[in-house]
Chain A
Amino acid sequence: MVKHGAAAHVNSGPMDTPAVEVVDLVKRYGATTAVTGLTFTARRGAVTALLGPNGAGKTSTIEICEGFRHADGGRVRVLGLDPVSDATALKPRVGVMPQSGGVPTGARTAEWLRLMASFHASPIDPGVLLERLGLTAASQTPFRRLSGGQQQRLSLACAVVGRPELVFLDEPTAGLDPQARMAAWDLVSALREAGVAVILTTHYMEEAERLADHVVIIDRGAVVTEGSPAELTQGRRELRFSTDAPVDTRALEAALPTGSRVTATTVGGRHECAVATAEPDALGPEFLATVTAWCASSGVLAEDLRMRRRTLEDVFLETTGRELRHS
C-alpha cells in the first residue's frame, strides 16, 4: 500500500542541516517580551523537548518555527529554510499539533483525518492511524462530542498523517489519561525510530526524561540549560539517610572534604540528612566510606542510606526556581 521508495526521492536537502535552528530569538507582545534571545538546535531524527513552566515562551517559540508568528529578532531555520518566506516548501514536510482545537466542531473524526491525509502525496492510511491511536470506535463521532483525550489524539494523528520529516507537538499529552499518554509516547518513539525529527513542548519532567534525546529547559523566554537527560542529571548526586536522633551537622561537615554541605530536616519525628559535595565527582566510594565512618565513630545509625542521581525535576526546579509563578 505504501510506497517506501517515495521517501528516497524526496529532496530534503543536506542531511547535516539541523531540523530546527533558533539563534537569539526575540518575540514581543506589546510591552511584554515573551522570548528574550533564545538559542537552541534540534537534530534530525531525534526528539527534542522544550521544557519549562507555563508562560516560559515555549509556545511562542514553536509557533514562530511553525510560521504562525513573526519573530521580532534573531534567526530561525526549519530544515534549513525560513519558516515564513519558505512556508509553501515547508508545509508538506512539517507536521503540526496545536495545543488545542483546530478541528471544526461538526466534523467527524475519520472524515477530518481523511481530509488531512488528502492534502499529502503519500499519506499514512487514516484507518491504520486511527486504530493505532485507539480512535476506531470514535470514527463517526463529531469533534465536539469527543473527550479531551480523544481530541488530543486526533490532533496528534493529523500532525503525522502526511508522513512529515519533522513534527511540532505543543503539549501533546496535556490532559491525557495514563493509557492514552502511553499510546502517545509509543507514537513519538515510533516516529523517532522511523527517522522523523520531533520537537515537543511539555511541562511534564517524566515525559521529557523518557522521550527526549535532547532537553532544552526554558524559563522567562531564554534557555536556562540544555543537554541529554543523562547529561543534565549526570553526576548530580546526593547522599541521604535518616536517623532517630538529631545529627550534629556541623561535626559531620567538618569530617568531610571542604565544600561539602549537610542539611537536616525533621519529618514525622525522624531526622533526614542530605549530604552534597561541591564537586559532583567527589561523591564517590571514598566519600561514602567517610560518611559511614563518621557515623560509626559518632554512634549514629544511618537508616535508609541511599545515593541517588538528580532527576530532571531536580534540575528543572534548581534552574527555574521553586517559587510559585503568578503569570
Chain B
Amino acid sequence: MTEHTSGTAAPAATDAPTAALDATLFVPAPGAAPMWRMIAAQARMELRVMLRHGEQFLLTMVIPVLLLVGFSLVNVLDVGEGARVDALTPGVLALAVMSTSFTGLAIGTGFERRYGVLKRLGATPLSRFGLLAAKTLAVLAVQAIQITVLCAVALLLGWSPSPGPVGVLAVLGLVLLATAAFSSLALLMAGTLRAEATLAGANLVYVLMLGLGGVLFPTSSFPGPMEQAVSVLPITALSSGLRDVLAGGTLPGAGVFVVLAVWTAVAGFLASRLFRWE
C-alpha cells in the first residue's frame, strides 16, 4: 500500500514541472523590446556577419594593407612628393572607407534582399529606421577597425601626419560624410538591382575608383580635363580631402564637402524612393 502510493507519487512529482513548462512556454506575452536594444542586437549581428565574410575581409582589410605596405616599400609608382608612406596613407584610408560603406554594404544588402532577410526583418518589431541605424553602426565599427589597423601599419612604416585639432575634426567630418554618400549609393544599388548584378557592379566600381579616384596617386597627375572629371567622384573628394589634411597639413576646401553632400542627397533621395525590400 505505502509502496504503491510512493510509486505513483514519484513520477507525478518529476513529471509535473516538465508538463507545466511545456503548457506555459507559449502562453502569449507579446511586446517589443526597447528600440536601443533592438538596434544594438541587430548591429552586433551585422558586424559579426561582415567580419566573418571571407571575401569581404579581403576587400576591406587585406587589399588596403597590402597596397599600403607594398607601394610604401617598393618604388614602382610615382605617388607624388614627400615620403612614400605619407603620400599613400590618405588614399588607402579613403579606399578602406569605400570598401566597407559602398562595396561591402551593397553586396551584403543585395543578398539579404535576395534571400528574403529584409522581408523577414520587416515582420519583426525592428523598424526600417532601426535596421538602417544598425547597418550604419556596423559599417562605422568596421571602419574604426580598418582605420586603426591602417594607421598602425602606416606609423610602423614611418608615417608622420601632422593634423592639428581642427584637421582631426575635418578628417572625422570627411569620413562620416563620405560614409553617408557611399552607403546611400550602396543601398540604391542593392535595392534596385538583382543580387548578382550588385555583386558584379559593386566590385567593378571598387576597381574603377581604385584606379581613377586618387587612391594611390593624386589626380593632379591626370591630364587637365580628366582631372576635372574625376574630381566630382566621391572617392576623389574623400582621398583629396584626406590628403590635404594628412599630407599637406592644410584644411580641405569646401568643394570636397559639397561633392560628398550632393552625392549623399541625390543617392539618398533615390534610394528612399526606389528601394525594393524584396
Contacts and interface: CB of A to CB of B under 8 A. Distances in A.
Given A163-B26, A190-B26, A194-B26, A119 B123 contact: no
Interface string B106-127: 0000011001110110111111
Contacts of B122: 68
A164 to B, nearest CB: 5
Interface residues of A, number: 50
A115 B41 contact: yes
Interface stretch (B28-36, B73-81, B266-274): B28-36
Interface stretch (A4-12, A254-262, A319-327): A4-12
A15 to B, nearest CB: 12
Given A119-B41, A165-B30, A190 B123 contact: no
Name the prevailing secondary structure of the A interface residues: loop
B29 A98 contact: no
B38 interface: yes
Nearest to B54: A106
B45 A121 contact: no
Contacts of A119: 32-33, 38, 41, 124-126
A292 to B, nearest CB: 49
A95 B28 CA distance: 11
Nearest to B53: A106
Nearest to A44: B28
Contacts of B15: none
A105 B111 contact: yes
A194 B32 contact: no
A243 interface: no
A121 B123 contact: no
Given A91-B124, A102-B117, A118 B38 contact: yes
A164 B30 contact: yes
Contact of B119 (A68, A88, A104): A68
A111 B41 CA distance: 10
B9 to A, nearest CB: 25
Nearest to A100: B116
A128 interface: yes
Contacts of B52: 106
Given A104-B49, A115-B45, A66 B123 contact: yes
A103 B26 contact: no
Interface string B3-27: 0000000000000000001111111
A167 to B, nearest CB: 9
A3 B24 CA distance: 10
Contacts, number: 133
Interface in A143-202: 158, 160, 162-165, 190-191, 193-196
B48 interface: yes
B200 to A, nearest CB: 18
B42 interface: yes
B31 A103 contact: no
A289 interface: no
B139 to A, nearest CB: 16
Interface string A83-108: 00000100111101010111111110
B56 to A, nearest CB: 10
Given A10-B30, A91-B32, A107-B49, A190 B42 contact: no
Interface string A257-269: 0000000000000
Nearest to B32: A92
B29 to A, nearest CB: 4
A92 B115 CA distance: 23
B130 to A, nearest CB: 9
Contacts of A68: 119, 122-123, 278
B112 A104 contact: yes
A67 to B, nearest CB: 8
A225 to B, nearest CB: 30
Contact of B41 (A105, A118, A121, A158): A118
Contacts of B42: 115
A120 B31 CA distance: 6
B32 to A, nearest CB: 4
A291 interface: no
B26 to A, nearest CB: 4
B71 to A, nearest CB: 32
Contact of A120 (B24, B33, B48, B116): B33
A94 B214 CA distance: 51
Contact of B27 (A4, A102, A105): A4
A101 B120 contact: yes
B120 A102 contact: yes
A122 interface: yes
B194 interface: no
A2 interface: yes
B28 A163 contact: yes
Contacts of A67: 123
A75 to B, nearest CB: 21
Interface of A: 2-4, 6-7, 10, 12, 66-68, 88, 91-94, 96, 98, 100-107, 111-112, 114-116, 118-122, 124, 128, 132, 158, 160, 162-165, 190-191, 193-196
Q: Which 4 A-B pairs have the closest CB atoms?
A: A121-B31, A102-B120, A101-B116, A194-B26
Interface of B: 21-33, 37-38, 41-42, 45, 48-49, 52-53, 111-112, 115-117, 119-120, 122-127, 278
Given A102-B120, A118-B33, A118-B37, 16 more contacts: A67-B123, A91-B125, A92-B30, A96-B123, A98-B120, A101-B116, A102-B119, A104-B115, A106-B52, A119-B41, A120-B125, A122-B31, A162-B124, A163-B28, A165-B30, A190-B26
